Homo-oligomer: A and B are copies of this chain.
Amino acid sequence: MTSPPPKLDAAELVEGFRGYMRDHNLPLTHQREAIASALFHSEEHLSVEDIEAILRDENVHVGKATVYRTLDLLVRAGLVDEHDFGEGFKRFEPRSARSHHEHLICLACGKVVEFTSERIERMKALIADEHGFRHHHHRLDIYGVCSECQGRAAVTLERSPDRPGGGSR
């Protein structure tokens, strides 16, 4: 495991949150701070369940409705990005100072690798233009098998070819 590049300035994001709340006349409660802080200090793409687990470990009790509501707030504030990697639930990550990035997802172990591509960035804008669309946002996820998982078990991700009903959720 190589150490991932630091995700960046949790402090800055916390400051941004405070500012947003102040500007919008919304109270900054303990719960909101705890949720935002948990997410901002993470290097990963957290699910709501992940966040609840972190708070539980810190002996902070927050209802799940509040977690959802606060995540909504953070996304609206532009401080957090929401992702759907096709797992049946959403994941969230703090929006770092670095530019927009895309994701490579390992189908075997779930590892997520981030990358950026200036060329893709340009191309997506070009294509939207070509079709008369005003570009708003986009999503590029590449699914594959990471090098570590290619050794064995490369089969476990293939669902058996017949017999419907092999639920995935």
Q: Roughly how many angstroms separate A151 CA and B137 CA in the complex, as a whole number? A: 19
A interface size (C-beta, 8 A): 47
Partner of A162, one of B26, B142, B162: B26
Enumerate chain B residues within 8 angstroms of A73, measured Cβ to Cβ. 164
Cβ-neighbour of A119 out of B70, B123, B139 (below 8 A): B123
- Min CB distance A131 to B, Å, is 5
Smallest beta-carbon distance A92→chain B, Å? 14
Contact of A159 among B76, B139, B143, B145 (CB under 8 A): B76
Q: What are 24 contact pairs spanning A and B, CB under 8 A?
A: A72-B164, A72-B165, A84-B84, A84-B86, A104-B133, A107-B136, A113-B131, A113-B133, A115-B127, A119-B119, A119-B123, A120-B120, A120-B123, A127-B142, A128-B142, A128-B144, A132-B146, A133-B142, A134-B144, A134-B145, A134-B150, A135-B144, A139-B139, A139-B143
